Structure 1
Amino acid sequence: MAGIADHYDDPIHIAVIGGTGLASLADFTHVANVKPSTPWGVPSSPIAVLHHPSPSTGKSIPIAFLSRHGLHHELAPHEVPSRANIAALRSIGVRTIIAFSAVGSLQEDIKPRDFVVPDQIIDRTKGVRPFTFFEGGMVGHVGFADPFDGDVGKVVRKCGHSLEGEGVRLHDSGTVVCMEGPQFSTRAESKLYRSWGGAVINMSALPEAKLAKEAEIAYQMICMSTDYDCWHESGDVTVEMVMGNMKANAENARRFVGAVLDELSKEEHSDLVLAKHLESQTKFAGSITAPAGRSAEAKSKLQWLFPGYFD
């Protein structure tokens, strides 16, 4: 594309992972496409580098944008190369990720087109998705009690509430049930997840959130409800229903994410954006394997991701 560079040399600290319903950020200046290769393969799409003016200084802030399912939505949820995605983002400097996802609602009060800022996850994937950087000769145990970043979540909630009354309705918390897919739930499963206290259901929160935690990246998902799953008397979920609600609410989704990026671009959030509160956590969590027991391949991969951590 004319005027779009194929490299970008400065570090990029904030990324948006766009899922179904958020394919781009139209009001940002697209300056580059980068295609980093990682020890875990290539990411699901080229990473678009977008310039965003800081609301406090006017200086251009670079934002990385990655399409989770590929540029043409060609990757099924279990095919998304999440390790490559997170590793590629960290390698270009990203320390904060705002992840967007379409979800089904498991609660009457979360209506189609509502937004949810979740705080917990229940894992219903089947173990077929690679979900850790620590394997093959190095063991690492990273805490995952709080799968989303509390401080970034506060910023996201503040921005969402600032848009209420302009078509945005926000729920401050909720548990995401992450299922395998690509089929939707059975009616029995949907009712079970409701009984567990699930708020919404998707196919994308994991292993993305786990890998971000291992990579010391502050990660927060924004969910947009598109349907009532199949438990509700309004009818079973269909692709047509999902796509229709996403299209109708796309502008609100872009405004919401744009407001979050505006706020995070302020200098007062610089330490948060750099995830200073997460620095070196993985260095200690990943040092459980004694140096003599670390395989050369595992050590090489982790040194690429965390230079200087496991020398």
Structure 2
Amino acid sequence: MSFKLGIIGGTGMDDPDLLAGREEKFVETPFGKPSDALIHGTIGDVPCVLLARHGRKHTVNPTNVNYRANMWALRDAGCTHVLVTTACGSLQEEINPGEIVLLDQFIDRTNQRPLSCYDGSSPAAKGVFHIPMAEPFCKIMRKIVGETAAELNLTCHASGTAVTIEGPRFSTRAESNVFRSWGAQVVNMTTVPEAPIANELGLCYAAIALPTDYDCWKVNEAPVDVPACLAAFRKLTDGVKKLLIAVIPKLAAYDWTERMQALKTAAETSIVPGSDV
């Protein structure tokens, strides 16, 4: 099968200079416009499409990101896989700011977002749809990314649960401690509904979470704020760019036939029979 990677860059990780042979395309989808132009190009001769989740000038807050349009646009552009970065706060002592967490689970604490393409809002996505979500993130992609991070001497946690809050505010200390008590590793604002929609559309999806702070649970450190978050994220970008450049050819070389068929079957069997008339 042909491989094409969609890359969704979070804050500071939407650098178009990652790509060679860049070409910008503004598109429309049945769900409206994506966050910004799709930037087509290659990384190590692998075809890729880069999309700035919040817009290249960070003009879209987490609630207002058009997750459905973003994923639909990447699929229509021919992407088979999506690899994203997401800034987050660490909820556990052993996960230090500046390290990497490869998400394998999420807890949804959002409350204002369309959570599915299959909600009756567009004739392009008909039917009542119940996508399985036991494993929201591709374990094969996670494994390849983790092995590559180790080769680059990047500290990488092979798994982690993200609590996705609505935002745009950060957590209270009470909330942060509740999330810790649940055993979650990080807190962010964008994994939901991005991950489940990717699964709905049959896209192989993985997320590189980048802790910039300890949220606000750690009373002997200053609570997270925007200047501290951005400053910490800037320190992470070089290492993560190196990781992307190194891992993308490995992802492209893998035989994805079986995995993609499983995703297709899951999507096809998630529509309630007869509901898509």
For the aligned pair, the TM-score class normalised by the smaller chain equals: over 0.9
Shift of 1:26: 2.7
Return closer, same or farther for 1:220/1:173 CA change in 2, 3 Å cut-off. same
Matched with 1:129 is 113
**Of residues 238, 242, 254 in structure 2, which corresponds to 1:255?**
242
Give the residue type in structure 1 aligned to 2:236. Answer: N
Shift of 1:67: 0.4
Question: Where does the alignment leave 5 or more consecutive residues of structure 2 unmatched?
Answer: 121-125
Residue deviations 1:205-228 (CA, integer Å, cap 9, x gap) = 010001001001110000111000
Residue deviations 1:89-132 (CA, integer Å, cap 9, x gap) = 11111111001011100001111111100111011111x11111
Shift of 1:289: 3.4
- Cα-Cα RMSD: 1.7
Give the residue type in structure 2 aligned to 1:131. Answer: L
1:244 partnered with 2:228: no
Alpha-carbon distance in structure 1 between the residues aligned to 2:273 and 2:63 = 29
Q: Secondary structure at the match of 1:265?
A: helix
**Rg larger in 1 or in 2?**
1
Asked if the contact 2:4/2:46 (under 8 Å) is kept, the reply is no
Asked if the contact 2:9/2:85 (under 8 Å) is kept, the reply is yes
Calculate the TM-score normalised by the size of structure 2. 0.92
Matched with 1:204 is 190
Asked if the contact 1:102/1:225 (under 8 Å) is kept, the reply is yes
Matched with 1:28 is 19
**Of residues 16, 25, 30 in structure 1, which corresponds to 2:7?**
16
Alpha-carbon distance in structure 2 between the residues aligned to 1:213 and 1:270 = 15
Alpha-carbon distance in structure 2 between the residues aligned to 1:286 and 1:35 = 30
Asked if the contact 2:3/2:252 (under 8 Å) is kept, the reply is no
Calculate the TM-score normalised by the size of structure 1. 0.83
Return closer, same or farther for 1:139/1:153 CA change in 2, 3 Å cut-off. same
Give the residue type in structure 2 aligned to 1:44. Answer: S
Shift of 1:290: 4.0
**Of residues 206, 218, 221 in structure 1, which corresponds to 2:207?**
221
Matched with 2:39 is 48
Alpha-carbon distance in structure 1 between the residues aligned to 2:18 and 2:25 = 20
Question: Where does the alignment leave 5 or more consecutive residues of structure 1 unmatched?
Answer: 1-10, 54-59, 295-311
Residue deviations 1:180-237 (CA, integer Å, cap 9, x gap) = 0000000000000000001001001010001001001110000111000000121211
* Percent identity over paired residues: 34
Asked if the contact 1:148/1:220 (under 8 Å) is kept, the reply is yes
